[in-house]
């Protein structure tokens, strides 16, 4: 019988931020420091926390509007935070020294992710209907992967047909980039050739979070949608492999454990759910949050034994996985 | 071409007196290019011998000079023996590749005429070559291999020439006006207890316009003491300039002190350090350059005199503020004693330290009251009680 994962609450911090906490990510360990948790909030700050006690290490200020996304470089040395003011700030995690500030036109910066090697930062481009790729050594914009207009539409048509890109995910081998839009479309790009490959059809409501399964040559993509389901897609074959239901609200965030065994989601129904992919069902529901859960994140690294969740209720929670 | 050959010829000179050159960007780029060409030459020779490649084993007793690719100029490769084993290990090959990666990145910066700190270089290398770089220490070591590792360095140019800015911890306060070109004049007596932060950019420090009516320059070992003296406006009681590097001095702070000593040659430079071997080591670094720390550091030596704490001052502090010397202190003391540059009277002070087995910090003077430090300083200066 397959090993079944279980979550147990470890620690919660009430009023971790002054406003809703919208985003969270783990910063991998460096040679001199264990993994840390980064959270970003409507209160315009990014906070750095040390597990398991969730001691506050630092509060980074400087963004002019709410922080929508935080992302960590695979080395654990640097990280990036993006806000609604469409500025991305790249900083040294331990010293908070600013390394670069990336500017974009308004509403063209949403979720971000560093590629598995750390050479490129992909930023979901919101209203620009594209993914922006920034080179991490020079911090220059090296590519814009645009979602092509639907066939038959004229350029003069209202931009309502243009997709608003919310989420982005790298495949573990760094060869594919997927992005999710407000209208439910998931677009897949070939990174090396900087080319649009195809759409993954079947969803019609905002796709706010995407994550590939962790095996190296993975073609499996998990999506979280406002339609309340988690879908599993084959990015090459374009088919939907499966769907997992259970949430009673929008699914705002999805993440997969480093060993690929378990999937966690956060939802507007205020719960965090743990799913077993093989059983296609939720095996656990955590209801400690009192408002929408905006982000869930498994700690990277072999054991994947920690999960963090953040919520509109301004709190962050840490769970032990076994 | 003449200058290039002259500068290359220098490498032939007495191995004992090795130093790192300050070069123009195109000269450094030329050296990088020759390094690459030489490497290719070795690789494409009928009998490529790994033992001819430098960078791996660094013992001065094993160094030889080999012919370079420019036939009328001899090159600086100091080849090393016992290398055939080292490249077999994955770590050694990565370290070898790191050197070339750093040279590549610095070559680009030199073309763009950009300056970077070692930390910024680390961020770029981390992202550009994630397979080879994962820590700041690796970057620092690699730069040392290029610039300043005992008598052996591939490019033998200063870090500064490579485009790498020092980061500085230094601070200045007191009776001196500093002006960066096209900026406002900064009055360091009005900077509060934090003082004026010394930039890591040597070019900028070189271009600083300095004016002073001070009579002395006081170099302070510790930040806390510097702050105290600045807060108490000690530099008004005796017109002086206060300077600290918050411990062991970095290149930028030493550079600025050196500039001050040349610009204001009549100002005695006095050092206020703890009474322990580390304090004397810090004083010696300002005085002579880094002891055994590489090829660049000799350059900014200044005539610094030892004001305090010295053996005679021990009567001013209570017995209980004396602490035993630690093993590290003894280590430092031993290396100081073996250095040929140490003067007799300094040697004597060191001997007293070691014999008593004790050390004392400047803070011990506070036993006599918090304003005692200022009075102590003033009295010693007025009595010209420094060696």
Residue from B127, B129, B132, B139 to probe the interface with A (highest A Cβ count within 10 Å): B127
What pLDDT score was predicted for residue B73? 31
Give the CATH number for residue B221: 3.40.1360.10
What pLDDT score was predicted for residue B65? 38
The verdict on residue B156 lying in a domain is yes
pLDDT digits (tens, 9 = 90+) for B280-339: 999 988 888 765 445 555 678 889 999 989 999 999 999 889 999 988 888 888 888 887
What pLDDT score was predicted for residue B3? 53
Do B250 and B375 have their domain in common?
yes
Q: Residue A77 is nearest to which of B120, B126, B128, comparing CB atoms?
A: B126
pLDDT digits (tens, 9 = 90+) for A271-290: 999 998 778 889 999 999 99
- Kindly list the residues from chain A whose CB atom is less than 8 angstroms away from the CB atom of residue B126: 73, 75, 77-78, 118
B126 vs A: CB within 8 A: yes
The verdict on residue B193 lying in a domain is yes
Provide the shortest C-alpha distance from residue A206 to chain B (in Å).
Answer: 32
Give the CATH number for residue B108: 1.10.10.10
pLDDT band of B18, cuts 50, 70, 90: very low
Residue B123 falls in the annotated catalytic set: yes
Residue B60 clears pLDDT 90, i.e. is over it: no
CB contact at 8 A, B308 and B352:
no
B41 vs A: CB within 8 A: no
Do B145 and B224 have their domain in common?
no
Do B337 and B254 have their domain in common?
yes
Residue B150 clears pLDDT 60, i.e. is over it: no
Do B188 and B328 have their domain in common?
yes
What pLDDT score was predicted for residue B79? 37
pLDDT band of B161, cuts 50, 70, 90: confident
Q: Residue A118 is nearest to which of B120, B122, B127, comparing CB atoms?
A: B127
pLDDT band of B89, cuts 50, 70, 90: low
What pLDDT score was predicted for residue B8? 44
- Residues with Cβ < 8 Å from A279, sequence gap 6 or more? none
Q: A95-123 burial by CB neighbour count: b if 16+ within 10 A, else e? A: ebeebbebebeeebbbbbbbbbbbbbbbb
Secondary element (H or E) of residue B375:
helix B372-382
Please answer yes or no on whether B126 and A118 come within 8 Å at the CB atom: yes
pLDDT digits (tens, 9 = 90+) for B167-223: 778 999 999 999 988 889 999 999 888 889 898 888 889 999 999 999 999 999 999
What pLDDT score was predicted for residue B153? 66
| Domain that includes residue B306, residue range | 171-382
How many CB pairs below 8 Å do chains A and B form together? 37
Nearest alpha carbon to residue A67 among A105, A23, A133, A124: A23
Q: What is the mean pLDDT of chain B?
A: 79
Residue A219 clears pLDDT 50, i.e. is over it: yes
Q: B200-212 burial by CB neighbour count: b if 16+ within 10 A, else e? A: bbbeebeebebeb
pLDDT band of A2, cuts 50, 70, 90: very low
B119 vs A: CB within 8 A: yes
What pLDDT score was predicted for residue A22? 95
What is the average pLDDT across A23-40? 93
Provide the shortest C-alpha distance from residue B254 to chain A (in Å).
Answer: 25
In chain A, what are the domains?
A: 15-147+162-321 (2.130.10.10)
- Kindly list the residues from chain B whose CB atom is less than 8 angstroms away from the CB atom of residue A78: 123, 126-127
Higher per-residue confidence, B154 vs B118: B118
Q: List, as one string, the DSSP characters of A220-273.
A: EEEEEETTS-EEEEETTT--EEEEE---SS-EEEEEE-TTSSEEEEEETTS-EE
What is the average pLDDT across B59-65? 39
Higher per-residue confidence, B75 vs A68: A68
What pLDDT score was predicted for residue B293? 47
The verdict on residue B61 lying in a domain is no
Query: Which ipTM score applies to this complex?
Result: 0.77
- Kindly list the residues from chain A whose CB atom is less than 8 angstroms away from the CB atom of residue B124: 137-138
HEC letters along B338-350: HCCCCCHHHHHHH
Do B113 and B189 have their domain in common?
no
Please give the structure tokens belonging to residue A213.
């399964």
How many domains, in total, are found in chain B? 2
Q: Which residue of B has its CA nearest to A134?
A: B127
């Amino acid at each position: 019988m397959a090993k079944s994962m279980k979550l147990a609450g470890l620690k919660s911090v009430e009023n971790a931020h002054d406003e809703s906490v919208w985003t969270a990510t783990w910063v991998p360990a460096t040679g001199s420091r264990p993994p840390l948790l980064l959270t970003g909030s409507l209160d315009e700050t990014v906070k750095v926390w040390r597990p398991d006690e969730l001691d506050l290490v630092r509060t980074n200020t400087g963004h002019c509007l709410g922080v929508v996304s935080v992302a960590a470089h695979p080395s654990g040395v640097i990280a990036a935070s993006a806000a609604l003011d469409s500025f991305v700030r790249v900083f040294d995690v331990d010293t908070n020294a600013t390394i670069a500030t990336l500017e974009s036109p308004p509403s063209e910066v949403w979720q971000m992710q560093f590629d598995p090697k750390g050479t490129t930062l992909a930023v979901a481009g919101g209203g620009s209907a594209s993914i922006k790729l920034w080179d991490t050594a020079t911090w220059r914009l090296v590519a814009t992967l645009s979602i092509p207009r639907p066939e038959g539409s004229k350029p003069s048509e209202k931009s309502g047909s243009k997709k608003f890109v919310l989420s982005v995910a790298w495949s573990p081998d760094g060869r594919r980039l997927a992005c999710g839009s407000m209208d439910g479309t998931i677009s897949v790009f070939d990174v090396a050739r900087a080319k649009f490959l195809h759409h993954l059809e079947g969803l019609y409501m905002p796709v706010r979070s995407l994550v590939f399964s962790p095996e190296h040559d993975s073609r499996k993509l998990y999506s979280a949608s406002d339609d309340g389901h988690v879908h599993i897609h084959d990015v090459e074959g374009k088919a939907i492999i499966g769907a997992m239901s259970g949430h009673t609200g929008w699914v705002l965030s999805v993440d997969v454990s480093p060993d690929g065994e378990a999937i966690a989601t956060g939802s507007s129904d205020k719960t965090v759910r743990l799913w077993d992919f093989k059983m296609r069902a939720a095996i656990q529901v955590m209801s400690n949050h009192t408002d929408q859960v905006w982000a869930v994140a498994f700690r990277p690294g072999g054991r994947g034994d920690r999960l963090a969740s953040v919520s509109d209720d301004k709190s962050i929670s840490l769970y032990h996985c076994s | 071409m003449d200058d290039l050959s002259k500068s290359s010829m220098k490498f032939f000179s007495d191995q004992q007196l090795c130093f790192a050159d300050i070069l123009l960007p195109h000269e450094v780029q030329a050296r990088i290019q020759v390094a690459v060409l030489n490497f290719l030459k070795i690789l494409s020779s009928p009998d490529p011998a790994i033992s001819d490649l430098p960078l791996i084993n660094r013992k001065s007793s094993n160094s030889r000079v080999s012919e370079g690719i420019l036939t009328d100029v001899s090159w600086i490769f100091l080849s090393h023996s016992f290398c055939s084993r080292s490249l077999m290990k994955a770590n050694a090959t990565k370290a070898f590749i790191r050197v070339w990666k750093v040279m590549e990145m610095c070559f680009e910066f030199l073309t763009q005429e950009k300056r970077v700190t070692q930390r910024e270089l680390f961020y770029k290398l981390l992202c550009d070559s994630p397979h080879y770089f994962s820590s700041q220490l690796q970057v620092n070591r690699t730069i040392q291999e290029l610039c300043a590792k005992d008598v052996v360095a591939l490019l033998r140019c200063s870090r500064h020439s490579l485009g790498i800015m020092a980061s500085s911890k230094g601070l200045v306060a007191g009776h001196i006006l500093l002006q960066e070109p096209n900026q406002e004049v900064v009055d360091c007596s009005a900077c509060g207890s934090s003082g004026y932060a010394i930039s890591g950019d040597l070019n900028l420090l070189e271009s600083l316009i300095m004016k002073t009516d001070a009579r002395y320059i006081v170099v302070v070992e510790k930040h806390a003491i510097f702050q105290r003296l600045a807060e108490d406006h000690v530099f008004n009681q005796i017109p002086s300039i206060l300077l600290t590097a918050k411990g062991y001095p970095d290149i930028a702070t030493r550079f600025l002190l050196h500039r001050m000593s040349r610009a204001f040659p009549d100002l005695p430079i006095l050092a206020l350090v703890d009474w322990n071997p580390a304090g004397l080591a810090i004083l010696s670094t300002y005085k002579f350059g880094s002891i055994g720390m590489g090829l660049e550091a000799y350059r900014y030596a200044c005539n610094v005199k030892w004001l305090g704490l010295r053996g005679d001052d021990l009567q001013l502090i209570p017995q209980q503020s004396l602490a035993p010397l630690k093993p590290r202190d003894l280590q430092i003391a031993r290396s100081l004693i073996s250095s040929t540059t140490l003067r007799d009277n300094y040697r004597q002070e060191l001997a007293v330290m070691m014999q008593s087995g004790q050390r004392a910090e400047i803070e011990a003077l506070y036993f006599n009251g918090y304003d005692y430090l200022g009075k102590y300083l003033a009295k010693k200066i007025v009595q010209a009680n420094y060696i």
